[in-house]
A and B are shown apart, each in its own frame.
Chain A
Amino acid sequence: MRNRAFCAALLLAIFPVLDAPYRVAAPGYRYEFPRDFFAHPEFQTEWWYTTGNVKTADGRAFGFELTFFREAVNRDASKQGAWDLRDIYLAHLALSDLDGGHFYHSERVNRSGPGIAGVDSAGGKVWNGNWSAVWKKDGSQELTARSGDFEFDFTLKSEKMPVVHGENGVSQKADGAGRASHYFSQTRLATNGTISVQGKQFRISGLSWMDHEFFTHQLSADQTGWDWFSIQLEDKTELMLFILRRQDGSIDPHSAGTYVDAAGKATHLRANEFSLTPTSASWKSVQTGATYPIAWNVVVPKLMITLSATTRLPQQELAATSKFAPGYWEGAMQFSGKHCSADILGVGYLEMTGYDHPLRWTK
């Protein structure tokens, strides 16, 4: 188990540095690909977040998460040694064995060092040790990771262009200039490859979703956590929805979402255009004591979408070992309901943060 206390100490120590020379997310950002797939070192925080639902030919289902974080620490130009600490790279890896009923996760934290972790735009690679995402010349992506419990090698082929969330190139998270991120997703990635777990290898295929977000200090003090959904429906449409929860229990008006139609066209959804409502089904973590709502109702009236979200595996919490470290729940979900009055099914992921204790991203 990683020393999460240590990671958290890093994060807590780093975030308050406000006067650091980092750029903030501002409207009017012009995206350019493949450039924007890679690093934006002028922003303090950046992450590459891939989740997916895959199955073997005979129907054994898995969910997976591979996330790379980059957190800028120091931009002192005089320190140019390989080991000098400029960014801290964190990575989370998880596998949900939905039929076996197991959830495996591990994490790592590294500096770039002499090639230990980093982002290589020219080589098309984001990596942390031997966990990596590599962009191939043909536009496909290779995702590789191994831990003591399992390993996987996937090839991801995007069926749609990247979708930029928010308005005018920014996803606003709170009031005030810069309280925002640049956020785009690849919402439909056809996935093929292998998973080895407990000494057994499975050939799988399915759908993945990749989020890439970069920003400097986006949330505000009264935001205590968020619930985030990625939904991939059978009719080739996708939804990204998140709500930001506030200290008083209300939903922050900066909550938002994006609808992607079958052709890949994105529609921004404001907080008042959708609702995410937890049902009574919940799961209490023994490790952190947090209670997570694990079944939700998703309604987007203007798109005529009504879905119920459930999971086959309640324990998909990436538990933290210290009260200072955020634990979060990130798990494979299944959806069923109606889209334009037709019955529909879908898969996706749900991320819930701030349930063990309020997030302390800010002081």
Chain B
Amino acid sequence: MTGRAKLFWRLMVRPIGREPVRMGLTILAVALGVAVVLAMDLAGTAATGSFRSSLETLTGHYNFEVTATGGVPEEIVGRIATSPINLAISPRMEDFAVVAATKKSVVLLGLDLVGEAEAIHLKSDDGASPSAPETENIATDFSADDSIWAGSSLGWQKGQHVSLIIGDRERTFTVRGTYDDQNQPAIVMDIAAAQRTVGRAEKVDRILIAIPESENLEAQTRQISALLPAGAEIRSAGTATDENRKMLAAFRWNLKLLSYIALIVAAFLIYNTISVSVVRRRAEIGIARALGASRSDVLLAFTGEAAVLGVAGAAIGVPIGRVMATGAVRLMGATVNALYVSSRPGPIELGANSIITALVVGIGVAILAAYAPAREASQIAPIEAMARGRREFLMRVHSLRDLTLAAIFGAAAWAAAKAPAVGGKPLFGYLATLLAIVAGTLAIPSVVHAAMKLFGATLQRTSVAALLASRSLLGSLRRTSVLVGALATAIAMMTAVGIMVGSFRTTVIQWMEGEVPADFYLRPAGNSSADRHPTISAELADKLATLPGVEAVDRLRAYQVSFDGVPTTVAAADLRESRKRGHSDFFSGRPAEEVLNELRSGDAVVVSEPFTYKHKLKRNDFISLRLGTSLASFRIADVYYDYGSERGFILMDRSAMKKYLPGDAPSNLAVYVANGADPAAIRKEIELAAANYRVLIFSNADLRKQAIVVFDKTFAITYALEAIAVFVAVMGVAGALLALVIDRKRELGLLRFLGASRAQIRRMILAEAALLGLVANAAGLLLGFALSLILVFVVNKQSFGWTIRFHWPVAILAGALSLIFVATVLAGFYPARIAVRLNPVEVVHEE
């Protein structure tokens, strides 16, 4: 060990062990910060980054695909197969089946098991793919409509009978064989049976095409394109997956950034810890410098100390992060399914990369946070440091300088908030958030100063303990303000996100008032997902319409499309019914009836706000849609507020859709009860009529409740991130108070010596904690309000395209802030106990 290293060990590392609680808290804070970042990174990768549509299973070596809204006419398969191009094709039916026993959705694939035999087998060439379904008597099995082949991960046995809900029908199927599905469960049927089962006669959902890379791909795809009707297109295989992945990127980004809050809070704590360290070792610094240590040695020593904390924190943080990731994946997966696209999260992979990133982030943040106090320490003149009699080293507070900087950063934040999105990501929005936090942090010492003065003046008249508390905090303003800064930042982020989510929630609830007018809603059983539109039998809709007491039944039929490379939903509804009752909110402000009249002409659509935002479109622009075999053009008659789907929504009259896609089966039904009829009785009738169909019936209230449940589930992860950040901050308060107590041993001893009671000392420490909490709450609330404006009007709008109306979620905020306040006071109890335990005689003796 070199002398320098020995010195570092003795002076810097060893003292860490002397205050296990305080150092433990700091390390834990870093650990939690690192853990959250790592967890969100791992979970994000598993749930969205490695996103693969569940339909992308058994897709083999195919590099192109032909798709059309509502399915590709099957004769196209023959046309492509016989074209003079060196290719292989795989026509597929693609849907989902709900396993009746478990209510789980599983991909249902209809494959040409005769022609596909090669493709399924071929996949085993690369060593990691399914083998051909094993089968015995193909002649009979293929021809039977109840034959299925099951992925091995479903755990079904050959010969087993399985009840599946497909669309709104439940049927029993026989497992004819299984295949190794590499943990991508799917149910395979022969394409003939699948076509009948999903009720899409003469259509296939997708044609996968393999063209050898050695061919002229562009010329070949152009040749294939010429064989297709206008409504069908050829594109790279897995395009939908790529588009979805892109769409999920924004979602993942936002969560990733939220995950850094805890780390930012931890940075404040590191700053505080190192500051304390510098103050304590003032004399030692002086001695070391006098003995020849250079300024950079001192700088290195303190950043080294921070690095040790960072390493320890990161080392503990990595396993915690791995555990957290498991929970995070579940939450994220649920959100992705509800809002975006049906998928299943991939495995969580804790690779060397993630670990290195976590370490770099943890240690980097620690060193960065420590730099300022370390530099300050390095600049202390040895003589000044060694001079006796100056017990407290007061770091200078440059009020004016800091406030000016705060103003500059604030202005920069304002400017950044005005900037547009960059590539669909609100980069400047995030920058604005960061700048606002910096501005807030810079302003906090002055705020604390002012607050303490103010409190001090008032407290003077109430209690000595309180007065002493405020004075003591003022005395160590720099350190105190860092603490307040940490807590305030955490509170601000929590407040901001709380306001954003609360505003969003209220906006959605109010929006549903107008958007959900019917008495009952029906959809096929099974989990719903934003990109899946299973259908209800048309005859059920007809049947419901004839029930006595039912005034009208609206049908909505939705299709998944790709518009300009972005996944979008195109839907058709009986606009004449549903829109008459609700007061729809159109951007133009025109009455709903007027807009709907335009839709009835058949060449106009209304689109949702996120759709126009994403595609930079406005009212009266024209859009082209691939529908059935046609490429049809529509005018945007108006734009409506929509919070139901981030994917974007295009809505047209049902008669318009029927021209292109004549299918009659609706995805959803809305039932209106006649005036004077008893809804409860009607519900019974609907249930009776739908007894043989696997549909879910929601009353108006049910539907709204359901929507809010989904909403809350979506934001559960956000709340969790907030809670961790606040927890880290409160922990920091406890640690810092402890430091204050230890540094003021002498002072506290003197107070006791002079006759202060144990209770008074305890009160004083608790009052300090309370004051910290109060100031932090106030500053946090203020900063949080500013941040929430950025989140609501910049980040959210730019990420998702939603217009959220601002609401104060008063109850939630009041509750959370009180909780934090109580937690801060409680955090004072341990330091208070330490302070009370001090033996006055001993402390004074030491002097």
Q: Do A and B come from one complex?
A: yes
Q: How distant is the Cα of A116 from the Cα of B89 in the complex, in angstroms?
A: 10
Distance in angstroms from B112 CB to nearest chain A CB is 7
For the complex, is B839 an interface residue (Cβ under 8 Å from A)? no
In this complex, what residue of A is CB-closest to B78?
Answer: A115
For the complex, is B690 an interface residue (Cβ under 8 Å from A)? no
Per-position binary interface string of chain A over residues 196-229, scored 1 when its CB falls under 8 Å from any chain B CB and 0 otherwise: 0000000000000000000000000000000000
Residue contact A115 to B195, C-beta cutoff 8 Å: no
User: Told that A3-B118, A115-B75, A117-B81 touch, could you supply 17 new A-B pairs with CB distance under 8 A?
Assistant: A3-B122, A5-B132, A6-B117, A13-B138, A14-B138, A74-B143, A82-B75, A83-B192, A110-B115, A113-B74, A113-B91, A113-B115, A114-B74, A115-B82, A129-B81, A130-B84, A130-B85
In this complex, what residue of A is CB-closest to B73?
Answer: A114
Partner among B115, B132, B142, B202 whose Cβ is within 8 Å of the Cβ of A116 = B115
For B142, list chain A residues within 8 Å (CB). Answer: 73-74, 85
Partner among A109, A115, A129 whose Cβ is within 8 Å of the Cβ of B114 = A109
Which one of A141-149, A273-281, A331-339 is at the B interface? A141-149
Q: How distant is the Cα of A14 from the Cα of B114 in the complex, in angstroms?
A: 13
State which size class the interface on A falls in: 35 or more
For B117, list chain A residues within 8 Å (CB). Answer: 2-3, 6-7, 109
For A146, list chain B residues within 8 Å (CB). Answer: 84, 86
A-B contact count (CB 8 A): 112
Distance in angstroms from A93 CB to nearest chain B CB is 12
In this complex, what residue of B is CB-closest to A82?
Answer: B74
In this complex, what residue of A is CB-closest to B76?
Answer: A114
For the complex, is B764 an interface residue (Cβ under 8 Å from A)? no
Q: How distant is the Cα of A14 from the Cα of B136 in the complex, in angstroms?
A: 11
Residue contact A3 to B121, C-beta cutoff 8 Å: yes
For A111, list chain B residues within 8 Å (CB). Answer: 112, 114-115
In this complex, what residue of B is CB-closest to A117?
Answer: B81
List residues of A whose CB falls within 8 A of some B CB: 2-3, 5-7, 9-10, 13-14, 17, 73-74, 76, 79, 81-85, 88, 108-111, 113-117, 127, 129-130, 132, 144, 146-148, 151
For B190, list chain A residues within 8 Å (CB). Answer: 83, 85
Residue contact A6 to B84, C-beta cutoff 8 Å: no
Residue contact B143 to A85, C-beta cutoff 8 Å: yes
Q: How distant is the Cα of A232 from the Cα of B201 in the complex, in angstroms?
A: 50
For the complex, is B139 an interface residue (Cβ under 8 Å from A)? yes
For A130, list chain B residues within 8 Å (CB). Answer: 81-85
Q: How distant is the Cα of A83 from the Cα of B190 in the complex, in angstroms?
A: 9
Residue contact A6 to B85, C-beta cutoff 8 Å: no
For the complex, is B212 an interface residue (Cβ under 8 Å from A)? yes
Residue contact B77 to A114, C-beta cutoff 8 Å: yes
Residue contact A10 to B138, C-beta cutoff 8 Å: yes
For A76, list chain B residues within 8 Å (CB). Answer: 143
Distance in angstroms from A310 CB to nearest chain B CB is 34
Task: State whether A113 and B136 are in contact (beta carbons under 8 Å apart), knowing that A3-B117, A3-B118, A132-B82 are contacts in the complex.
Answer: no
Distance in angstroms from A86 CB to nearest chain B CB is 9
List B residues 187-205 near A (Cβ within 8 Å): 190-192, 195-196, 201-202
Question: Could you list some 16 contacts between A and B, CB below 8 A?
Answer: A9-B138, A13-B137, A17-B139, A81-B195, A82-B74, A82-B202, A83-B195, A85-B142, A109-B115, A110-B114, A113-B77, A113-B81, A113-B112, A117-B81, A144-B84, A151-B86
State which size class the interface on B falls in: 35 or more
For A88, list chain B residues within 8 Å (CB). Answer: 114
Most buried by B among A17, A84, A113, A127: A113
For A110, list chain B residues within 8 Å (CB). Answer: 81, 112, 114-115
Q: How distant is the Cα of A212 from the Cα of B191 in the complex, in angstroms?
A: 31
For the complex, is B580 an interface residue (Cβ under 8 Å from A)? no
For A82, list chain B residues within 8 Å (CB). Answer: 74-75, 202
Per-position binary interface string of chain B over residues 256-276, scored 1 when its CB falls under 8 Å from any chain A CB and 0 otherwise: 000000000000000000000
Q: How distant is the Cα of A117 from the Cα of B118 in the complex, in angstroms?
A: 16
Task: State whether A147 and B86 are in contact (beta carbons under 8 Å apart), knowing that A3-B132, A116-B81 are contacts in the complex.
Answer: yes
List B residues 141-181 near A (Cβ within 8 Å): 142-143
Residue contact B135 to A9, C-beta cutoff 8 Å: yes
For A73, list chain B residues within 8 Å (CB). Answer: 138-139, 142-143
Q: How distant is the Cα of A85 from the Cα of B195 in the complex, in angstroms?
A: 13
Most buried by B among A83, A115, A148: A83
Partner among A115, A127, A147 whose Cβ is within 8 Å of the Cβ of B79 = A115
Residue contact B78 to A81, C-beta cutoff 8 Å: no
Residue contact A83 to B143, C-beta cutoff 8 Å: no
Task: State whether A83 and B84 are in contact (beta carbons under 8 Å apart), knowing that A6-B117, A6-B132, A109-B117 are contacts in the complex.
Answer: no
For A13, list chain B residues within 8 Å (CB). Answer: 136-139
Distance in angstroms from A106 CB to nearest chain B CB is 10
Distance in angstroms from B89 CB to nearest chain A CB is 8
In this complex, what residue of B is CB-closest to A151?
Answer: B86
In this complex, what residue of A is CB-closest to B93?
Answer: A83
Q: How distant is the Cα of A117 from the Cα of B190 in the complex, in angstroms?
A: 17
Residue contact A148 to B212, C-beta cutoff 8 Å: yes
Task: State whether A81 and B139 are in contact (beta carbons under 8 Å apart), knowing that A111-B114, A113-B77, A130-B82 are contacts in the complex.
Answer: no
Residue contact A79 to B192, C-beta cutoff 8 Å: yes
For B196, list chain A residues within 8 Å (CB). Answer: 81
In this complex, what residue of B is CB-closest to A147?
Answer: B86
In this complex, what residue of A is CB-closest to B79?
Answer: A115
